[in-house]
Amino acid sequence: MKLAGIETVKLFFFAGIYTIVGYFIPLQQDALTLTYLIGTAITGLLYAVLLRQILHSMTIGARGRFFAVWIAIWVVQMFNPLLEGIFFTDQLTGFTIVFGAVVFGMILPLIYTASAVILFRPENADSSLRQRLRDHFSKRRAFEWGWRIAAASLSWTIIYFVFGNLVAPWVMPYYSDPNSGFNLVYPSLVELLALQTVRGSIYVGSLIPLAISINVDFRRAFITIASLLFIGGGLAIFLIVETFPLALRLFHSIDLLADSIFFGYAFSYLLVRE
């Protein structure tokens, strides 16, 4: 009972750190609002529950845990959304702005990851990330891993287009109207195809260390990856970013939930399942 109480305190402590960081560094917000702070707190608590589960399943050294979690959070919550934002908004223009956003986007995950690694420690660490990767990739030949990684990367592009087209009737008006005031634009089909192919490859590369370093089966790996993708890249948009209208946030969140579930399954099936 005492241990459960301590773990609960840790969860809320991490959520508090996440909320405080969000208070002083509001993302995509013109001003702080009560809704923004509540949304940040909820997202932080969900992140805490997920990261606790992930880190308790990682029987590798602290440096390996830190790298695997940090690179995943950075890509899912910061880098890949920023990469998409360059093509879907007219606000991220110029090298200085983009470079500053990339560097700034690396700092926040460092704070989140450091807090989580300190708070949520596994009972034992009997391996290293390097050894875990070596053992996992030794199970198949290089050619088989090559097509599996390529297929997982391509699956993101396919899934993105399928569910993106399903919600297009509700979200496209915000992108096609230059007078909407939301600074949204829609790239050409060639640009979109190239962008999502690159994003899919980045997702795969950044999630492999985390997926392989947790001692879980295929089903739990799928749930973990899908949850991380949605909490970091989808739910936060719906709960936190009030700059966009509710309808746009809602349909994008539904789209991202579907993307997270199906890509999480494809990724885990191709790269984790033995």
- Work out the pLDDT band at 96, boundaries 50, 70, 90: low
Residue 76 contacts residue 232 (beta carbons within 8 Å) = yes
The answer for residues whose C-beta is within 8 angstroms of residue 206's C-beta and 6 or more apart is 71, 72, 74, 75, 76
What is residue 273's predicted lDDT score, i.e. its pLDDT?
A: 86
In single-letter form, the type of residue at position 263 comes to: F
Residue 253 contacts residue 238 (beta carbons within 8 Å) = yes
pLDDT tens, 138-178?
Answer: 999 999 999 999 999 999 999 999 999 999 998 888 888 77
pLDDT at 180 over 80: no
What is residue 253's predicted lDDT score, i.e. its pLDDT?
A: 87
Task: Map tokens 């089903």 to a residue.
Answer: 219
pLDDT tens, 4-60?
Answer: 688 889 999 999 998 888 776 655 555 567 777 888 888 899 999 999 999 999 989
Residue 167 contacts residue 251 (beta carbons within 8 Å) = yes
d(CA 231, CA 234): 6
CA 137 vs CA 19, 60, 200, 236: distances in Å? 38, 17, 20, 33
| The pTM of the whole model exceeds 0.85 | yes
Task: Give the least confident one: 46-50, 83-87, 240-244, 270-274.
Answer: 240-244
pLDDT tens, 102-136?
Answer: 777 788 889 999 999 999 988 888 888 999 999 99
